[in-house]
Structure 1
Amino acid sequence: MTVHHAAGVGYQRAAGVYERSRPSYPLSALAALADTLPLEAGRTVVDLGAGTGKFTRLLALTGAEVLAVEPVREMRERLAELLPGVAVTAGTAEATGLPGGCADAVVAAQSWHWFRTGEALPEVERLLRPGGALVLVWNTYDTSVPWVRDFQDIYFRLAPKDLPSPPLASRPGDPGGWREVFAGRAGWSAIEERHWPNPHSTTVVDVVERMMSSSHIAVLDAAAQDRVRTEVEAVLARHRVAGEDGAMELPYTTDVYVLRRG
C-alpha cells in the first residue's frame, strides 16, 4: 500500500490527537444523506480513508452495513477500538481489497483529496452496484471569521507544495480541482451539493492540538512543532477568542457532494 508520506507518518504519530481534536459532522447532513441515497438496513456503504471513524460512526447509525477502509495502522486500530461492530480493512482507496459490486454507496469523508483519483475512481466504479452513489464530505474552516483565517494561514504557510489539501475556497489555486476527474467521464450524474454550518464547541487546548494533528505538522521535529504551537497560541490570544475557562467555538462548514452512478 502507498500513501502520501505526510499522511502515513503524520497520522501514525497523531491518531489519538486526531480523534480528540477533530469535529464530527451535523446529524442533519447525515439524515439528508440517509434519505437521499438511501442508507438503511439491507444496504452497504464503504467508507474510504475512514481514519479513526469520525464519519464511520454516523454511517453506522443508519442501520446500513459499513465497511471501513483505512491504510494507517494506528488510525485503524483506534477505529476498531471505538467501533467494534464495524468491519475495517487495511486497504487504500486505490486498492480496497473488497469484492466488486459490494456497495450501494461509497463515502470519502475528509479524505478524497489524499487519493490518487485517477486510480481511486475506477476502484469506486468497481465497488458500486448499478444506481449507487459516491459521497464526498469535507469539514472546512469558516474563514469569514478573522481569527480562523489567521489560523488557517499558518497551516498553508507550512504545507509542502505537494501536500494534498481539502477544496477550500480561500486556498490559492483552483478550489474545485477535484471535480476535473469526473468531467466527461461516462456513467456519472452531475454533482449534487449541500452545505451545513458546523460550529464545533471546543477549547483553546484542543484548537492548538487540531493544528498539531495536521499531517504535515505532526511530522516536524520537536523544535519546529514548538514554534508552531507558540504561533497558534499567539493567534488565539491576539483575537481573544476564548472565555476565562478556555472554552471557545471553532466554526466549520460541512460540504457534501453526491455523484450517482448510472
Structure 2
Amino acid sequence: MTASSRALSFNSAAAQYEASRPSYPSALFDAVEEFLGRPLTGTRVADVGAGTGIATRLLSRRGAEVIGVEPGGEMAAQFREALPDVPVVRGDGNALPLRDASHDLLTYAQSWQWTDTTRSVPEALRVLRPDGALAVWWNTTAFDVPWISAQHERIARHCGVTARSSVRPSDEEAVELAGLSGLRVVRRQIHWQRTVSLDTHLGNIGSRSAFLVLEQASKDAFFADERGRLQDLFPDGSVEEAYVVDLLIAAR
C-alpha cells in the first residue's frame, strides 16, 4: 500500500472523518498569531490537505481569508457541505494550484506527512509571499495518559505498524524542514482534551488510514474488543480524550 493510496483512503470514510475527528484548541491559533506577529484577520491562508475543513473553519472564524486545497473528491464534497462560503480547490502539497507569492500563510493540519518534502517545500516557498510562513501540525498521542498509551500500542500491533514512542513531529523532522527550506523553524506543543461518546471515539480511530486499508473482518474484531475495554474504563459512555498538538511554524 503506497503513501498516496493511504492518503486517498480517506475518501471512503469522509462522513465518518467529519463526524468523529477532533478539532484543535484556540491556543494553537494563538501560537500561530504570536509567531506571525499579527492577527489572522485578513491574512491570506491556504489550508493544504484540508480534508473536510476541520482546521479551515477555525481559520475562517479567526477572520482569515482562507482557501482549502484537497486532493480527495469525497473529502472535498464534505468540505463544501460544511463550509459553503469557503472556496476549496483540488490539489495537494506537492503541486499547489496557487499563484506565485500569493499567500501569507500555508497550513498543513494532519497532512504534511502525505507530501514529498523534496517537492512540497519548494512549492510552499513558491506560493508564500516574502514575509509569509508555513505551519504544520498534528493532534498526537498523549503518552502521559496510561490508557491512551496502551491503546496506541494495541492499534499499532493490530495494524502492523511500528508504535511511536513520542509525539510528532520528531526533532529530526524539524531539522529536515529547516534544512530543506532554509527557514527559521519554531516548535510548540499544546496539550488539550475533549469528551466524546464512545461511538465517536471509536469512529475517530476507524477513520485513520491504517484502519481504512484493513479488511472489514479485521476492523470488526478490533473494535468489538476495544469497545469492551473502554466500556470498563468509561461506564457512562463518555470518553475523555487527551491530545498533544505538535506544531512547527517556519518563516524566512
TM-score by shorter chain over 0.5:
yes
Cα separation, 1, equivalents of 2:127 and 2:207? 31
Instruction: Point out the more displaced range, 32-41 or 77-86.
Output: 32-41
Provide closer, same or farther for how the CA distance between residues 208 and 185 of structure 1 changes in structure 2, counting only shifts above 3 A: closer
Structure 1 residues 117-156: aligned runs within 5 Å: 117-156=117-156
Say which of 234, 238, 242 aligns to 2:234. Answer: 242
Match of 1:232 in 2: 226
Match of 1:36 in 2: 35
Unaligned runs of 5+ in 1: none
Whose helix fraction is larger, Structure 1's or Structure 2's? Answer: 2
Unaligned runs of 5+ in 2: none
Secondary structure at the counterpart of residue 240 of structure 2: strand
TM-score, scaled relative to structure 1: 0.87
Match of 1:196 in 2: 190
**1:203–1:242: 8 Å Cα contact kept in structure 2?**
no
Match of 2:58 in 1: 58
Runs of 4+ off more than 4 Å: none
**2:135–2:248: 8 Å Cα contact kept in structure 1?**
yes
Say which of 147, 170, 178 aligns to 2:173. Answer: 178
Cα separation, 1, equivalents of 2:233 and 2:171? 31
Secondary structure at the counterpart of residue 207 of structure 1: helix
Provide closer, same or farther for how the CA distance between residues 160 and 25 of structure 1 changes in structure 2, counting only shifts above 3 A: same
TM-score, scaled relative to structure 2: 0.90
Provide closer, same or farther for how the CA distance between residues 158 and 113 of structure 1 changes in structure 2, counting only shifts above 3 A: farther
Cα separation, 1, equivalents of 2:7 and 2:158? 15
Given residue 188 of structure 1, which amino acid in structure 2 is its aligned partner? L
Please state how far the C-alpha of 1:16 moved relative to its aligned partner: 1.1
Q: Does residue 79 of the first structure (1) align with residue 83 of the second (2)? A: no
Secondary structure at the counterpart of residue 122 of structure 2: helix
Provide closer, same or farther for how the CA distance between residues 126 and 168 of structure 1 changes in structure 2, counting only shifts above 3 A: farther
Please state how far the C-alpha of 1:39 moved relative to its aligned partner: 4.2
Please state how far the C-alpha of 1:31 moved relative to its aligned partner: 2.7
Q: Does residue 169 of the first structure (1) align with residue 166 of the second (2)? A: yes
Given residue 34 of structure 1, which amino acid in structure 2 is its aligned partner? E
Q: Over residues 142-164 of structure 1, what are the superposed CA-to-partner deviations in whole Å (9 max), with x where a residue is unaligned?
A: 12112111211133224456x9x
Cα separation, 2, equivalents of 1:113 and 1:75? 17
Paired residues in the alignment total 250
Q: Over residues 169-203 of structure 1, what are the superposed CA-to-partner deviations in whole Å (9 max), with x where a residue is unaligned?
A: 169xx9334224334346411x2122222101111
Match of 2:46 in 1: 46
% identical aligned pairs: 33
Secondary structure at the counterpart of residue 55 of structure 1: helix
Match of 2:16 in 1: 17
